[in-house]
Amino acid sequence: MKTLIKIFLLAMVSVNAMAQTITPPIQAGRNVSFFVGAFPNTIPLFMAAPLATTMSAQSKDKKVFIILSAGDAGIGGEPNSAYPYWKARQNGLENALIFFAGFQARGGGSGLYTAANVTIGGMTLERKDFGGWGDVILYTLKLPDIVGTATQTLGLGALQSGLVASMQPVTGTAVYSAANVRDVLAGIVKLEAPAASKIVVHTTESDATLNPGDHPYMTATTKFFDAATAGTNFACLNKFYYGTISNYGKPVNLPNLDLVAHADVLTHAGGIGAFSNGVTAGHRGNEWGNLGYVGKSYKTRSIASFGACAF
């Protein structure tokens, strides 16, 4: 009952922030886990097991979340709308992170986030720090789901493949080329984990033979990150890849309840509920249609570190 009450209360949390310019402190000798996804719901949907485990009270890792797409479903920035769809979905992700962060049970902190502007790879990004502890960090590039005419569903895939030369975030700020995206991704890793004892990356599987039917934006996101962190400068990264849309037809592989790491069906359902509640709070429906993914978190492959990082 206590776990159910926690899920309900955390799912109802809303978030606020004030922007300021800061430089994140260097935290030497600490493990850092990066979660990289295309859409606001990619991580809570497809990486439930590592997400819950890394956010649990048993983990002291610093957690950094990176989302490339605004998740606007081709609607765009909706500058004349008080409740744009992309913002509702981002609110859903923030709600889900607050939900999972609640399992750390460290006490203190507001449970909300503070926001600050940082310059990375020549671009200005908003860095959100959840709870004020400096170890649950979120970056969102807010790149659009569609570039060009209404019939051209291009987005990240087109940018990554070179079909389009650049795109502008739905917020209307800056212009990203493919090189800009790679520079930002590499820059985030360097900024957030300059002296980490271990760096772990969780992202979606880009190999179609291991993850058939993947969304092209998710495939492009992983290709962007892998290209940005290729070579000996990033030799210390340990990478783990996960199945996505193909999980729908697979059996549940998480336990019903895990009171230690919380990598279980109940927590996964709670996280998706928190996300959906955040979208609803943004006056844009809900995402309960994704319940077919509950309890399913499939790792497809991993790539071990092969040396020390040079940053």
Each residue's pLDDT tens digit, 220-248: 999 999 999 999 999 999 999 999 999 99
The answer to whether residue 75 sits within a structural domain is yes
Task: State both tokens at 286.
Answer: 């809900």
**What pLDDT score does 153 carry?**
53
**What pLDDT score does 267 carry?**
93
* CA nearest to 135, candidates 75, 183, 64, 85: 64
- CB atoms under 10 Å from CB of 14, counted, come to 13
The answer to whether residue 240 sits within a structural domain is no
Range of the domain at 34: 2-229+247-294
**What pLDDT score does 105 carry?**
42
Provide the whole-model pTM: 0.88
**What pLDDT score does 214 carry?**
94
* CA nearest to 192, candidates 131, 118, 140, 132: 118
**Partners of 239 in the beta sheet?**
201, 303
The answer to whether residue 136 sits within a structural domain is yes
Total number of domains in the chain:
1
Question: Using the 8-state DSSP alphabet, how is residue 83 labeled?
Answer: S
Q: Return d(Cα 79, Cα 173) in angstroms, integer.
A: 12
Task: State both tokens at 131.
Answer: 């709870």
**What pLDDT score does 55 carry?**
87
**Partners of 202 in the beta sheet?**
35, 240
Element (H, E) at 33: strand 31-37
Q: Are residues 201 and 157 in contact, defined by beta-carbon separation less than 8 angstroms?
A: no
**What pLDDT score does 162 carry?**
92
**What pLDDT score does 30 carry?**
82
- Residues of the chain short of pLDDT 50, as ranges, are 1-21, 104-111, 150-152
> How many residues does this entry show for the chain?
311
